[in-house]
Structure 1
């Protein structure tokens, strides 16, 4: 029973985390890193370019070497989540 409660708590925290939190590990706290040395630096991109890129990753029309990885990262993002990410790090 304790394991179920713990797992439920962890999943609830993940569900309510800020949309950008999952991006930080690769892109940096402020989008200042080229993820795995392959991506664009998010903080150098316009908000519109970030939105377009994330939606392109979702529908498979955008991306280079990290396309497969990124599709998995953005699949569950809503339009509001995508806009929040762009507002946080885009210029």
Structure 2
């Protein structure tokens, strides 16, 4: 068998030792990866270039809209009473 082949069980001892030092359970994002692996989103969407492109573009649009909405609402809450929309409208006096 060829070294590095996925069909081979004959690897040097150093390779087996490094595989035993897995980072499983040590990563901060391990729960996120386990959810993504369980959802099989990679197999259905991200594996194909068209699906990956659409996922990236639509995800960017949705996240940009959501972030903009959140920032606008925070801005309005912080500056309540100082914005143009909060000013009372007074009609001009009529001359008879």
Q: What TM bracket, shorter-length normalisation?
A: under 0.3
TM-score normalized with structure 2 length: 0.24
TM-score normalized with structure 1 length: 0.25
Tell me which of the two structures has the higher relative contact order, counting C-alpha pairs closer than 8 angstroms and 6 or more residues apart.
1
Structure exhibiting the larger radius of gyration computed from Cα positions: 2
Greater percentage in helix: 1
